[in-house]
Amino acid sequence: MSSPDFSLERTAFSKGATLVAGVDEVGRGPLAGPVTAAAVILNPQNIPAGLNDSKKLSAKKRTEMATEIRSVAQVSVAHASVAEIDEHNILRASHIAMERAVAALDPAPDYLLIDGNLIPKGLTITSEAVVKGDARSVSISAASIVAKTVRDEIMMDLAQQFPGYGWETNAGYPSKSHKEALRNLGVTPHHRRSFKPVHNILYQE
């Protein structure tokens, strides 16, 4: 598949938009840690080269790109906590994180390109859901890179406080070693109790 480009943003400008933000989240699948969203308004005259879906970039490249994105774009990052994930559900929590990231952008965008097939219900700005958006829109791919680097840093910090779960390498995702550690070491305050592998350990017969 070809790399993301600026065509969706240009289409938004042709409809009268002046500031277009790409929005993406990371961390829906992990058993532990927050869900993190980023919103990014790129400068059409200064788009970093090499933007792509964060999953297609090495950790080193993501970190370099995130620094570059922050230096040339408007960037906002927000989270929904483990408690919010357990209270609502992971989809709603990821949308809450997106809504917070958009709300913190200054200046505020007037058009949003949102990764996925749903538009968070709390958004009042004109929005377009873009399936596989991080592979199609440079604004969304920039948001995915920023969100991923921030969340990975959070999980590395938590790994220092709660060693043994491998969060510094699995970022809280349900790897074999992480699930094994859950069984052997138990559930931490940072585990999502509403997620089945965690729930089953807490409430096993």
Let me know: does 34 contact 96? Beta carbons within 8 Å.
no
Binding positions are: 24-25, 115
The reported pLDDT for the residue numbered 55 is: 86
**Helix or strand run (H / E) with residue 22:** strand 20-26
Average the pLDDT over 39-58 and give the result.
93
Please state whether beta strands 127-130 and 111-115 pair in parallel, antiparallel, or not at all (unpaired). parallel
Architecture category of domain 7-151 in CATH? 2-Layer Sandwich (3.30)
What pTM was estimated for this model as a whole?
0.96
Let me know: does 38 contact 71? Beta carbons within 8 Å.
no
Question: In angstroms, rounded to a whole number, what is the distance separating the alpha carbons of residues 46 and 72?
Answer: 7
1-41 pLDDT, tens digit each:
578 999 999 999 999 999 999 999 999 999 999 999 999 99
Whether residue 79 has pLDDT greater than 80: yes
Higher local confidence (pLDDT), 53 or 7: 7
Please report, for the chain, the start and end positions of each structural domain, with discontinuous segments joined by +.
Answer: 7-151
CA 189 from chain centre, in angstroms, equals: 21
94-122 pLDDT, tens digit each:
999 999 999 999 999 999 999 999 999 99
Which residues are within 8 A (CB) of 64 and not within 5 positions of it... i.e. 6 or more apart? none
Whether residue 203 has pLDDT greater than 90: no
The reported pLDDT for the residue numbered 205 is: 44
The reported pLDDT for the residue numbered 54 is: 87
Binding positions for a divalent metal cation are: 24-25, 115
Whether residue 145 has pLDDT greater than 70: yes
When pLDDT is cut at 50, 70 and 90, the band that residue 53 belongs to is confident
> How big is the chain by its Cα radius of gyration, in Å?
17
